[in-house]
């Protein structure tokens, strides 16, 4: 079900770089959709007139720069969640049934525990007007929130991440259990296109099920007496339960899914770019390690055992060079 397959021909640091770069690039490209989604969840005036009107109002009030507010904090946070899921893949790049639940929940909870303050920073940067900013950059935002509102504010709404991890994991598991019936063949025979569709389906179902928790969490992160209009939140509340009640009473149950259109549209380009960037980065690393003849293709290097790990392959190279390289020329040595 994974889009990014584990490859033992990469070192741990190379895998980390590839996953990090892929997450950073795909998150940056889809940032405008993320900004519209967050503003819709919080309930700022930009997105009260619909999905497309939200883009127009953001551009009119803040310019193009407004679509990339909070992107650095978002990229850093997403990278850690992606790495956790990557660590739970098997050698073929699949996540088993129980690992699907474990990795989905663990990625949400563990990444939030470590980087949750960055999510609060992201929300605050997104909801402010970048032409009249209250916060300037990630460090300034963290410092200002801590000084003016206290440490607990940086973890406001954290319990909703824990609660939302359960429906998210159930969604992933439900999709995984249905894949055999959907494709009418076992997972190990899935093509890259099938894995891409599987990832998009899993993300769509899982995020839709957990979406109300994220909506309330964003409102809790945004609301502050230190900000103009209390952060632009469309309801005022005291605590998590009261926030749920106020949203349902004043805006209706369906408002818990505000911004779902932007979130759903984002899934395909996000995972498509994530997969493409990872594969491009992986090709460069495989070429550097000596497994393929060019970073622009997957043509295997003749005479190289693809089952060897990078350290084993390097040791084999040294052994053969020492054995064959002498006063005379060595064809193997010259090839390397």
- What sign does the CA torsion over 8, 12, 18, 23 have? positive
- Average pLDDT of the residues in 210-230: 92
Q: Could you tell me the two tokens for 320?
A: 């053969």
207/190: higher pLDDT = 207
Instruction: Compute the mean pLDDT over every residue in the chain, rounded to the nearest whole number.
Output: 83
Q: Could you tell me the two tokens for 7?
A: 């490859």
The per-residue pLDDT for 19 is 84
The per-residue pLDDT for 214 is 95
Residue 108 lies in a domain: yes
CA distance 271 to 40: 22
Residue 323 lies in a domain: no
Cβ contact 60:312 at 8 Å = no
Partners of 300 in the beta sheet?
Answer: 292
Phi first, then psi: what are they for 300, rounded to 5°? -75, 145
Per-residue pLDDT of 33-43, as tens digits, reads 999 999 999 99
Asked if residue 105 has pLDDT above 70, the reply is no
Provide the domain count of the chain: 1
Residue 176 lies in a domain: no
Task: Supply the CATH number for residue 282's domain.
Answer: 1.50.40.10
Cβ contact 281:21 at 8 Å = yes
Write out the residue range of the structural domain in which residue 65 sits. Answer: 12-154+224-235+258-289
The per-residue pLDDT for 120 is 94
Pick the closest to residue 1 from 97, 87, 106 (CA basis). 97
The per-residue pLDDT for 335 is 43
The per-residue pLDDT for 4 is 57
Per-residue pLDDT of 234-277, as tens digits, reads 888 999 999 999 999 999 999 999 999 999 999 889 888 888 88
Residue 249 lies in a domain: no
Residue 189 lies in a domain: no
Residue 307 lies in a domain: no
Partners of 292 in the beta sheet?
Answer: 300
| Single pTM value for the model | 0.82
CA distance 14 to 20: 10
Residue 280 lies in a domain: yes
The per-residue pLDDT for 334 is 45
Pick the closest to residue 179 from 118, 94, 246 (CA basis). 94
Residue 217 lies in a domain: no
């Amino acid at each position: 079900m994974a889009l990014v397959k584990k490859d033992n021909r990469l070192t741990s640091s190379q895998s980390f770089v590839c996953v990090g770069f892929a997450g950073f690039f795909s998150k940056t490209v889809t940032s405008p959709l993320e900004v519209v989604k967050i503003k819709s969840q919080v309930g700022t005036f930009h997105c009260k007139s619909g999905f497309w009107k939200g883009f127009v109002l953001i551009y009119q009030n803040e310019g193009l720069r407004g679509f990339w507010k909070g992107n650095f904090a978002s990229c850093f946070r997403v990278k850690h969640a992606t790495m956790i899921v990557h660590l739970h893949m098997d050698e073929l790049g699949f996540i088993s049934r129980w690992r699907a639940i474990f990795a989905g929940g663990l990625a949400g909870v563990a990444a939030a525990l470590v980087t949750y303050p960055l999510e609060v920073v992201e929300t605050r940067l997104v909801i402010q007007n970048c032409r009249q900013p209250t916060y300037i950059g990630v460090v300034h935002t963290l410092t200002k929130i801590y000084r003016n509102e206290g440490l607990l504010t940086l973890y406001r709404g954290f319990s909703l991440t824990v609660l939302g991890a359960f429906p998210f994991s159930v969604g992933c598991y439900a999709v995984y259990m249905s894949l055999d019936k959907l494709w009418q063949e076992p997972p190990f025979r899935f093509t890259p296109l099938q894995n891409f569709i599987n990832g998009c389906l899993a993300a769509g179902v899982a995020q839709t099920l957990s979406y109300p928790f994220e909506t309330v969490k964003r409102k809790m992160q945004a609301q502050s007496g230190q900000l103009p209009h209390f952060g632009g939140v469309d309801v005022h509340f005291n605590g998590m339960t009261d926030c749920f009640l106020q949203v349902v009473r004043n805006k209706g149950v369906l408002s818990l899914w505000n911004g779902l259109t932007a979130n759903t549209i984002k899934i395909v380009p996000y995972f498509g770019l994530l997969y493409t960037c990872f594969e491009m980065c992986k090709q460069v690393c495989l070429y550097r390690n000596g497994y393929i003849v060019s970073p622009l293709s997957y043509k295997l290097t003749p005479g190289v055992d693809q089952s060897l790990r990078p350290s084993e392959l390097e040791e084999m190279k040294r052994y053969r060079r020492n054995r064959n390289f002498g006063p005379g020329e060595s064809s193997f040595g010259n090839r390397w």
